[in-house]
Amino acid sequence: MDKSELSPPPWPQVGRGLWTRWWGYLARWMVFGVVVSIFQPVDDGVEGLWQRLVVRVVLGLAFGLVAATVFTLAENTLNISRVKWKTGLLVVLTWAVVKALFVTVLALV
């Protein structure tokens, strides 16, 4: 028997189903949301540098959570075979849909 058949791989096994790879997608989208929201030139009406920074970080984390949820469901439903161009398209579409949702909600609040 080959040694690779006896020892398990050093990474955790990826499950199957609708929530496959959820944690990886969540981490990536949350980092993206925080970085983009911090450097986004927006006047959100909050006075003080640290208060403004906290509001932006919280909105970035919320954006990342919603985007990770939408992307995970879309990726595991529409791109099971993990074709690169479909993944790229889903990333762009997820960003556009979630960004439009957040801009609309923030405009109404």
Confidence at 6, pLDDT banded by 50, 70, 90: low
Q: Are 95 and 33 in contact, with CB atoms under 8 Å apart?
A: no
| Distance (Å, whole) CA 86 – CA 89 | 5
Residue 8 has pLDDT above 70, yes or no: no
Q: How is residue 95 written in tokens?
A: 């960003």
> What per-residue confidence (pLDDT) applies to 20?
81
Q: Per-residue pLDDT tens for 46-96?
A: 788 888 888 889 999 999 999 999 999 999 999 888 899 999 999 999 999
Burial label for 63, CB within 10 Å (0-12, 13-18, 19+), is buried
> What per-residue confidence (pLDDT) applies to 46?
75
Distant-in-sequence, close-in-space partners of 25: CB < 8 Å, separation ≥ 6: 68, 71, 72, 75
Residue 97 has pLDDT above 70, yes or no: yes
| Distance (Å, whole) CA 3 – CA 48 | 60
Q: What is the pTM of this model?
A: 0.80
Higher per-residue pLDDT: 49 or 99: 99
Q: How is residue 64 written in tokens?
A: 């990342």
Domain segments of the chain: what residues?
21-108
- Give the three-state DSSP class for 86: helix
